[in-house]
Amino acid sequence: MTEYDLWKIFPRMPKKVTLGDITVRDGFQHEEKFISTAAKIFYAQEMILAGAMEIEVTNLGNPAGIPQFRDAEEVLAALRSDSFKKRCERAGIKYDEICMTAVSIREPAVDRAIELRKKGIGPDRILMMVSTDPEHHFANSGTTLSVYWKEAERCIQKARDVGMKMCGTVSTIWGSPITGATKLEDAVEFTKRWFQIGAHDIEHADHDGSASAAQVYRYFSMVLDAMPNPEAHLCHLHETKRVASASVLAALQAGITRFEGTLGGLGGQPANFLDDCPVRGTGEYYYKDPRYVGLITFEDLLVQIDELGIEHGYDVDRVLWLGEKMEKTIGRRLRSEAVYNGRTLKEGHPEFGRPGLSKLIQKLGEKPGQKAPTEWSPKAILPDPWGPAAWNK
C-alpha cells in the first residue's frame, strides 16, 4: 500500500519551523520611494508582536548607494527602546530571545554595526554574502571572491569579539541572472567555507527565482547530508514565476526548518532610483519587469505552513492584517493571495449556504447527513471493469 503520511515518507520533514521576517530590509530595499522611518519602525515592531523572533531591520552599508536605509540608527534605536521592550513584555514576548539582523555586506558596514553595538542599539546578527558566480559577486560587492573571503574572515572575528552573530549568505545556488547555470556542488562547498572561517549560520539564497522544487530538494538534501544541523541553515527564496511555494514544500521535505519572506512579496535588487533621483544601487536591474521580482510572500508562506499543520508561533490573522496595511504603505496591489482570500477555515463559511436544505431533507424523508440513496450499498463497490475499460467493451 502507498504511504500517505508526508512525515513518514520524508522523515527529515519538520513539525516546527522558524519563519523570519525581512520586510523592512530586503522588502523595502527595492522600493523606488523612500519608506518613512515611522513605517519601518511600525512594521518591524508589529511583526515582532505578531510572532517574529528572527527579523532583518536595516542595511548598514553606505547610504550613498542605498539611501533607503539612511535612517538605520533611528530604526535600531526604536527597536532597542525601553517602551518597545515593555510592549513585548506585556504581550508575553521574550525580548532577549529576538534576533535582530542588519545587513553588512562590506567591512565598513561591519565596523558600523560594532560601533552601534557598543552604543547599545546594534544588531544581534549581521550578514555578509558571497555568490558562487564571480560576476554576480563582483556586481554586489565590487571585489573578487578571494579578497572577499579574507575580508569575511576578519569580520567574523570582529563580530564574535563584541557578541554579534555572523550569517554567511550563499547566493546564485540555482543559477545566476548574469552568467546563467551554476553548480549545486559549488554552493555546498561555499557553505563549508563559511563554517570553516567561523560563520554562525548560512542563508541559502535564490536571488532571482531560478530555483525549482526538484533542485531545491536535491540541494538541501546535499547540504544536510554534509552538515546535518537544520538550525545552521536558512532558506531564502525569490518569487518570479509563482513556483516558490512548491520549493518551500521541497525544502521542508529535505529537512529545512528555517525560512524567511516579506510582506506582500516585496524586495529584490536594491533600487537604482529613489523618489525623484537615480541612485547607485547595484546598477541596472536584472529583470524585464522589476515590479514582480520580490521574495516569497510572507503571508502566503505562513498560511501554507499553518495549513500543513506545522508549528510556527505567529498570529496568522494579525500578519494578514499587516499585509493589508502594507498595500496602503506601498500604494499598490502586492503579491499576497492570502491577504485577499484568507485561510481555508475548517469550520467553513456557513453564511454562504443556500437556505432550505434542512426543510428539503425533512420533506423527502431523508436522514440528516445522508449522502447516497438508502438502497445503495453502505460503501461504493467498483464494478469490473470500471471507467474507460467499461466504456471500451
Tens-place pLDDT, residues 298-356: 999 999 999 999 999 999 999 999 999 999 999 999 999 999 998 888 888 899 999 99
Which uninterrupted H or E stretch holds 329? Answer: helix 316-330
Higher-pLDDT residue of 258, 349? 258
Query: Comparing 145-159, 221-235, 275-289, which segment has the lowest mean pLDDT?
Result: 275-289
Within 8 A by CB and 6+ apart from 283, the residues are 139, 272
Q: DSSP letter at 374?
A: T
Q: Can you give the pLDDT at residue 139?
A: 87
> Where residue 393 falls among pLDDT bands split at 50, 70, 90?
low
Q: Is 58 helix (H, G, I), strand (E, B) or coil?
A: strand
> Where residue 106 falls among pLDDT bands split at 50, 70, 90?
very high
111-126: average pLDDT: 98
- How many other C-beta atoms are found inside a 10 Å radius of the C-beta of residue 325? 15
Within 8 A by CB and 6+ apart from 174, the residues are 182, 184, 206, 210, 211, 212, 215, 216, 219
C-alpha–C-alpha distance, residues 212 and 247, integer Å? 6
> In this predicted model, what pLDDT tens digit does every residue of 350-378 receive, in sequence order?
999 999 999 999 999 999 999 999 999 99
267-288: average pLDDT: 89
Q: Single out the residue of 150, 74, 164, 190 nearest to residue 110, CA to CA.
A: 164
Exposed, middle or buried: residue 231 (CB in 10 Å: 0-12, 13-18, 19+)? exposed
Residue appearing with cell numbers 481555508: 344
Which percentage of the chain shows pLDDT scores above 70?
100
179-197: average pLDDT: 97
Q: Can you give the pLDDT at residue 349?
A: 86
- How many other C-beta atoms are found inside a 10 Å radius of the C-beta of residue 178? 16
> Where residue 210 falls among pLDDT bands split at 50, 70, 90?
confident
Residue by residue, DSSP assigns 151-213 as HHHHHHHHHHHTT-EEEEEEE-SS-BTTTB---HHHHHHHHHHHHHTT-SEEEEEESSS---H
Q: Can you give the pLDDT at residue 134?
A: 96
Q: Can you give the pLDDT at residue 14?
A: 98
Q: How far is CA 172 from CA 131, 178, 206, 236, in A?
A: 6, 10, 6, 11
What are the helix (H) ranges across 12-94?
37-50, 72-79, 82-90
C-alpha–C-alpha distance, residues 142 and 356, integer Å? 70
Average pLDDT over the chain reads 95
CATH superfamily, region 6-341 = Aldolase class I (3.20.20.70)
Residue by residue, DSSP assigns 234-289 as EEEEB-SSS-HHHHHHHHHHHT--EEEEBGGG---SPPSEETTEE--BTBS-SSS-
Q: Is the pLDDT of residue 126 over 90?
A: yes
CA torsion through residues 27, 33, 38, 39, sign: negative
Residue 124 near residue 165, CB atoms below 8 Å? yes
> Where residue 242 falls among pLDDT bands split at 50, 70, 90?
confident
Q: How far is CA 282 from CA 65, 249, 273, 294, 381, in A?
A: 8, 31, 11, 16, 64
Residue ranges of domains in the chain: 6-341
Whats the size of the chain, residue-wise? 393
Residue 257 near residue 229, CB atoms below 8 Å? no
